[in-house]
A = this chain, B = another copy of it.
């Protein structure tokens, strides 16, 4: 039985980064994947959605470009071409991961991994021994116990990405990141979209005023908040509204995006502690079995691709590296890549207050940015909000809605990670004209001193 320093199960952004980082440290690594390299992110999540959204944004701009000087005689969205581009992008990136594994000298085996014990993994007839194991089996779409949830016209995010044409109308159940991105995408290309959300607001991680503005900006999407889906029939979605009254809506196609569940099947046999959210880990990503680590969605913590990658680095550092790295969740950015984009890092104001942090905050309209005005026009909505600890001045949260939000937010992660204060941010020179300079503007509004 061949021996490895590390066996990684699952090749999403948790697993492949773990394998690559360990391989680059000179360790002998085996990566096992039962589908395609790249996991949900590359194959059924981040990447295909961004490919489709990229095309849809071009289409939206073509339709709405007249005020900026763009005149088009006729524009349409070619779904088949967009889907072909998406498939090509996914294939290219899978190839990239394959190349990365080769360059890190990681062995890759395809097949379903059976965890035999804390040091042995089996695929089919073959077994391998590993000094350490990293479990990165990810998560799957949650199909809730609603009557009709498994009808053929009720799709998960994976299934909806395999469509070859756009539906005329779509009911999205669940207004989290996945639901909102698909709602934005399909409404941009002309599908009539309705979102039904059980909570009183979409995007639970977003600052409330941002979620509200996003709903307003997604003007072609109907939102039904505080509504509980009771049943899905072949033709309709039946739900009880805020007042508890029974309502229904025509729904030739339904997207179920109510959450994800960790892929823990088969892990109990190992003796792993599994909690409500997923595999239980400490801040080194170590499970209750000292040589077994778990990273990414399977832990049920921060279900984001880059969180999984960071967990992978923490796990590998604690197995083979400095052993000083700990997983922290307070400076992890997130982004919703619809149109407009929304992004955030750190706490919302209500989260900060719930933690007992005394806050000061400043919200700035994006139209205060010359660049935003130049590129989006004066009727476009957009917001930047900076939240800081009122006593120490340390930045605890930055939130953005509007153009470039997803590419601006990394700097917020840097500020929050470095524990910079409002007065420190005022010392940074931001480029002009830009949307990002509104972060500095918000800081000056919080504190005019020089």
Contact = CB atoms under 8 A, between A and B. Distances in A.
Given A46-B433, A81-B66, A21 B72 contact: no
Nearest to A93: B370
Nearest to A430: B410
A264 to B, nearest CB: 23
A69 B78 contact: yes
In the A-B complex, the 9 residue pairs with the closest CB atoms: A69-B82, A411-B411, A321-B450, A55-B68, A55-B69, A54-B375, A73-B74, A317-B450, A306-B432
Contacts of A4: none
B72 A75 contact: yes
A73 B70 contact: no
A69 B85 contact: yes
Interface residues of A, number: 102
A436 interface: yes
A173 B16 CA distance: 50
A316 to B, nearest CB: 5
A417 B413 contact: no
Interface string A414-450: 1101101000111111111111110100001000111
A274 B233 CA distance: 81
A411 B204 CA distance: 26
Given A68-B85, A321-B449, 7 more contacts: A50-B433, A51-B68, A55-B69, A71-B75, A73-B75, A306-B431, A413-B428
Given A414-B414, A428-B414, A431-B410, A82 B54 contact: no
Contacts of A70: 55, 58-59, 62, 75, 77-78
A248 B236 CA distance: 72
